[in-house]
Chains A and B, each alone.
Chain A
Amino acid sequence: DAGITQSPRHKVTETGTPVTLRCHQTENHRYMYWYRQDPGHGLRLIHYSYGVKDTDKGEVSDGYSVSRSKTEDFLLTLESATSSQTSVYFCAISEAGGGYEQYFGPGTRLTVT
Protein backbone atom coordinates (compact mmCIF):
# COMPACT_ATOMS: atom_id res chain seq x y z
CA ASP A 1 0.00 0.00 0.00
CA ALA A 2 3.02 2.26 0.08
CA GLY A 3 2.37 5.50 -1.75
CA ILE A 4 -1.40 5.07 -1.93
CA THR A 5 -3.87 6.11 0.72
CA GLN A 6 -7.64 5.98 0.73
CA SER A 7 -10.04 7.91 2.91
CA PRO A 8 -12.16 7.22 4.73
CA ARG A 9 -11.24 3.61 5.46
CA HIS A 10 -14.70 2.81 6.76
CA LYS A 11 -17.98 4.58 6.25
CA VAL A 12 -21.60 3.92 7.06
CA THR A 13 -24.13 6.09 5.29
CA GLU A 14 -27.84 6.17 4.60
CA THR A 15 -29.60 5.46 1.33
CA GLY A 16 -29.95 8.56 -0.80
CA THR A 17 -27.01 10.50 0.60
CA PRO A 18 -24.02 11.50 -1.52
CA VAL A 19 -20.67 9.98 -0.60
CA THR A 20 -17.17 10.85 -1.76
CA LEU A 21 -14.19 8.54 -1.44
CA ARG A 22 -10.68 9.84 -1.90
CA CYS A 23 -7.60 8.18 -3.30
CA HIS A 24 -4.25 9.90 -2.85
CA GLN A 25 -0.95 8.76 -4.34
CA THR A 26 2.60 9.97 -3.91
CA GLU A 27 4.07 7.97 -6.82
CA ASN A 28 3.24 10.49 -9.56
CA HIS A 29 1.68 7.69 -11.61
CA ARG A 30 -0.43 8.76 -14.55
CA TYR A 31 -3.15 6.13 -14.37
CA MET A 32 -5.58 5.72 -11.50
CA TYR A 33 -8.49 3.31 -11.13
CA TRP A 34 -11.47 2.69 -8.90
CA TYR A 35 -12.64 -0.90 -8.36
CA ARG A 36 -15.29 -2.44 -6.20
CA GLN A 37 -15.01 -5.93 -4.76
CA ASP A 38 -18.04 -8.01 -3.91
CA PRO A 39 -18.46 -11.69 -3.04
CA GLY A 40 -19.37 -13.61 -6.17
CA HIS A 41 -18.31 -10.79 -8.49
CA GLY A 42 -14.65 -10.33 -7.77
CA LEU A 43 -13.00 -7.03 -8.59
CA ARG A 44 -14.81 -4.84 -11.10
CA LEU A 45 -13.64 -1.58 -12.65
CA ILE A 46 -15.85 1.45 -11.96
CA HIS A 47 -13.94 4.35 -13.51
CA TYR A 48 -10.39 5.13 -14.44
CA SER A 49 -8.25 8.16 -15.19
CA TYR A 50 -5.39 8.51 -17.65
CA GLY A 51 -4.39 12.01 -16.60
CA VAL A 52 -5.54 15.18 -14.89
CA LYS A 53 -9.13 15.85 -15.92
CA ASP A 54 -9.06 12.76 -18.18
CA THR A 55 -11.45 10.07 -17.00
CA ASP A 56 -13.61 7.36 -18.48
CA LYS A 57 -16.09 4.70 -17.49
CA GLY A 58 -15.41 1.12 -16.54
CA GLU A 59 -17.81 -1.80 -16.54
CA VAL A 60 -19.94 -0.81 -13.50
CA SER A 61 -20.06 2.99 -13.68
CA ASP A 62 -23.79 3.62 -13.22
CA GLY A 63 -24.44 5.68 -10.08
CA TYR A 64 -20.80 6.77 -9.77
CA SER A 65 -18.86 9.78 -10.93
CA VAL A 66 -15.19 10.66 -10.62
CA SER A 67 -12.94 13.66 -10.75
CA ARG A 68 -9.21 14.22 -10.98
CA SER A 69 -8.03 17.78 -10.60
CA LYS A 70 -4.49 16.89 -9.53
CA THR A 71 -2.18 14.06 -10.45
CA GLU A 72 -2.17 12.74 -6.92
CA ASP A 73 -5.91 12.72 -6.17
CA PHE A 74 -8.74 10.71 -7.67
CA LEU A 75 -12.19 11.11 -6.15
CA LEU A 76 -15.10 8.70 -6.45
CA THR A 77 -18.58 10.06 -5.75
CA LEU A 78 -21.71 8.07 -5.21
CA GLU A 79 -24.30 10.61 -6.22
CA SER A 80 -27.16 9.06 -4.24
CA ALA A 81 -26.01 5.99 -2.36
CA THR A 82 -28.04 2.78 -2.62
CA SER A 83 -27.78 -0.48 -0.70
CA SER A 84 -26.40 -2.17 -3.82
CA GLN A 85 -23.35 0.08 -3.51
CA THR A 86 -22.40 -1.50 -0.21
CA SER A 87 -18.98 -2.86 -1.06
CA VAL A 88 -15.25 -2.60 -0.55
CA TYR A 89 -13.75 0.03 -2.84
CA PHE A 90 -10.14 -0.14 -3.97
CA CYS A 91 -8.11 2.48 -5.71
CA ALA A 92 -5.23 1.37 -7.91
CA ILE A 93 -2.44 3.18 -9.70
CA SER A 94 -0.27 2.36 -12.67
CA GLU A 95 2.77 4.07 -14.07
CA ALA A 96 1.45 3.58 -17.59
CA GLY A 97 -1.56 2.00 -19.17
CA GLY A 98 -1.48 -0.99 -21.43
CA GLY A 99 0.01 -4.04 -19.82
CA TYR A 100 1.67 -2.35 -16.90
CA GLU A 101 1.09 -3.64 -13.41
CA GLN A 102 -1.37 -1.96 -11.07
CA TYR A 103 -0.86 -1.38 -7.37
CA PHE A 104 -3.74 -1.20 -4.95
CA GLY A 105 -4.55 1.05 -2.04
CA PRO A 106 -5.77 -0.27 1.33
CA GLY A 107 -9.47 -0.04 0.46
CA THR A 108 -12.58 1.62 1.84
CA ARG A 109 -15.38 -0.43 3.31
CA LEU A 110 -18.67 1.33 2.58
CA THR A 111 -21.98 0.28 4.08
CA VAL A 112 -25.20 1.87 2.83
CA THR A 113 -28.12 1.31 5.20
Chain B
Amino acid sequence: QKEVEQNSGPLSVPEGAIASLNCTYSDRGSQSFFWYRQYSGKSPELIMFIYSNGDKEDGRFTAQLNKASQYVSLLIRDSQPSDSATYLCAVNAGGTSYGKLTFGQGTILTVHP
Protein backbone atom coordinates (compact mmCIF):
# COMPACT_ATOMS: atom_id res chain seq x y z
CA GLN B 1 0.00 0.00 0.00
CA LYS B 2 1.40 3.37 -0.98
CA GLU B 3 1.90 5.73 1.92
CA VAL B 4 0.31 8.68 0.14
CA GLU B 5 -2.17 8.17 -2.68
CA GLN B 6 -3.78 10.75 -4.89
CA ASN B 7 -6.63 10.41 -7.34
CA SER B 8 -4.87 9.33 -10.47
CA GLY B 9 -6.31 11.83 -12.90
CA PRO B 10 -5.80 13.49 -15.18
CA LEU B 11 -8.58 15.76 -14.05
CA SER B 12 -10.18 18.10 -16.56
CA VAL B 13 -12.58 20.86 -15.53
CA PRO B 14 -14.06 23.83 -17.38
CA GLU B 15 -13.00 27.35 -16.52
CA GLY B 16 -14.95 28.68 -13.56
CA ALA B 17 -15.73 25.26 -12.11
CA ILE B 18 -14.57 23.78 -8.82
CA ALA B 19 -11.66 21.36 -9.06
CA SER B 20 -11.45 18.74 -6.32
CA LEU B 21 -8.17 16.97 -5.63
CA ASN B 22 -8.00 14.13 -3.15
CA CYS B 23 -5.29 12.45 -1.14
CA THR B 24 -5.28 9.58 1.35
CA TYR B 25 -2.42 8.58 3.62
CA SER B 26 -1.60 5.43 5.52
CA ASP B 27 0.28 6.67 8.60
CA ARG B 28 -2.33 7.50 11.22
CA GLY B 29 0.29 9.45 13.16
CA SER B 30 0.77 12.00 10.37
CA GLN B 31 0.71 15.53 11.64
CA SER B 32 1.19 17.98 8.79
CA PHE B 33 -0.22 18.08 5.29
CA PHE B 34 0.87 20.12 2.31
CA TRP B 35 -0.31 20.83 -1.20
CA TYR B 36 2.22 21.79 -3.84
CA ARG B 37 1.59 22.94 -7.39
CA GLN B 38 4.11 22.03 -10.07
CA TYR B 39 4.04 23.46 -13.55
CA SER B 40 5.66 21.42 -16.27
CA GLY B 41 9.44 21.77 -16.11
CA LYS B 42 9.32 23.80 -12.88
CA SER B 43 9.84 23.09 -9.21
CA PRO B 44 7.07 22.35 -6.70
CA GLU B 45 5.51 25.48 -5.22
CA LEU B 46 3.81 25.37 -1.84
CA ILE B 47 0.22 26.57 -2.03
CA MET B 48 -1.43 25.30 1.15
CA PHE B 49 -0.65 23.56 4.40
CA ILE B 50 -2.99 22.28 7.07
CA TYR B 51 -2.42 20.78 10.50
CA SER B 52 -5.86 20.55 12.11
CA ASN B 53 -9.05 18.79 11.18
CA GLY B 54 -11.47 20.90 9.21
CA ASP B 55 -11.16 23.44 6.45
CA LYS B 56 -8.54 26.06 5.75
CA GLU B 57 -9.20 28.68 3.12
CA ASP B 58 -6.78 30.90 1.24
CA GLY B 59 -8.26 32.83 -1.62
CA ARG B 60 -9.65 30.40 -4.17
CA PHE B 61 -8.04 27.43 -2.43
CA THR B 62 -9.52 25.38 0.40
CA ALA B 63 -7.71 22.51 2.08
CA GLN B 64 -9.80 19.99 3.97
CA LEU B 65 -8.42 17.53 6.50
CA ASN B 66 -10.13 14.55 8.09
CA LYS B 67 -7.65 12.66 10.25
CA ALA B 68 -10.16 10.00 11.25
CA SER B 69 -10.61 9.06 7.61
CA GLN B 70 -6.94 9.79 6.80
CA TYR B 71 -8.00 12.05 4.00
CA VAL B 72 -6.92 15.47 2.81
CA SER B 73 -8.29 17.35 -0.14
CA LEU B 74 -7.77 20.56 -2.05
CA LEU B 75 -10.60 22.49 -3.63
CA ILE B 76 -9.92 25.14 -6.22
CA ARG B 77 -12.86 27.45 -6.79
CA ASP B 78 -13.39 29.45 -9.97
CA SER B 79 -10.72 27.39 -11.73
CA GLN B 80 -8.59 29.26 -14.26
CA PRO B 81 -6.48 27.97 -17.16
CA SER B 82 -3.45 29.15 -15.16
CA ASP B 83 -4.34 26.53 -12.52
CA SER B 84 -3.47 23.80 -15.02
CA ALA B 85 -0.57 21.95 -13.38
CA THR B 86 0.33 18.85 -11.42
CA TYR B 87 -0.77 19.01 -7.78
CA LEU B 88 1.28 17.12 -5.23
CA CYS B 89 0.04 16.07 -1.83
CA ALA B 90 2.75 15.71 0.85
CA VAL B 91 2.46 14.34 4.35
CA ASN B 92 4.77 14.67 7.34
CA ALA B 93 4.55 11.79 9.75
CA GLY B 94 4.54 12.61 13.43
CA GLY B 95 7.66 12.03 15.44
CA THR B 96 10.17 12.81 12.72
CA SER B 97 12.30 15.71 13.79
CA TYR B 98 13.75 16.47 10.40
CA GLY B 99 10.50 16.94 8.57
CA LYS B 100 10.51 14.02 6.18
CA LEU B 101 7.81 14.57 3.62
CA THR B 102 6.22 11.70 1.75
CA PHE B 103 4.76 12.76 -1.58
CA GLY B 104 1.95 11.34 -3.59
CA GLN B 105 2.36 10.71 -7.29
CA GLY B 106 0.52 13.89 -8.20
CA THR B 107 -2.70 14.67 -10.03
CA ILE B 108 -2.58 16.47 -13.35
CA LEU B 109 -5.24 19.16 -13.56
CA THR B 110 -6.29 20.75 -16.83
CA VAL B 111 -8.64 23.72 -16.83
CA HIS B 112 -10.07 24.30 -20.28
CA PRO B 113 -11.55 27.61 -21.42
**A interface residues (Cβ-Cβ under 8 A, vs B):** 1, 31, 40, 42-45, 48, 50, 56, 58, 90, 94, 96-107
Which of A1, A45, A56, A96 contacts B101 (CB under 8 A)?
A45
Chain B residues packing against A (C-beta within 8 Å): 31-32, 34, 36, 42-46, 49, 51, 88, 90, 92, 96-101, 103-106
Are the C-beta atoms of A43 and B98 separated by less than 8 Å? Answer: no
Contacts of A43 in B (CB 8 A): 44, 88, 90, 101, 103
Partner of B92, one of A1, A99, A104, A107: A99
- Hey, which chain A residues are within 8 Å of B44, CB to CB? 43, 90, 104
Contact: B49 with A101, CB < 8 Å?
A: yes
Residue from A40, A104, A106 whose CB has the most chain B CB atoms within 10 Å:
A104
Q: Are B100 and A42 in contact (CB under 8 A)?
A: no
Besides A100-B32, A100-B99, A104-B45, 13 more A-B contacts (Cβ < 8 Å) are A31-B98, A42-B88, A42-B103, A43-B44, A43-B90, A44-B103, A56-B98, A97-B97, A98-B31, A99-B92, A101-B49, A104-B43, A106-B43
Contacts A101-B34, A102-B46, A104-B43: A42 and B105 contacting too (C-beta < 8 A)? Answer: yes
A104 CB to nearest chain B CB (Å): 4
Q: A43-B44, A101-B34, A107-B43 are in contact. Are A94 and B99 (CB under 8 A)?
A: yes
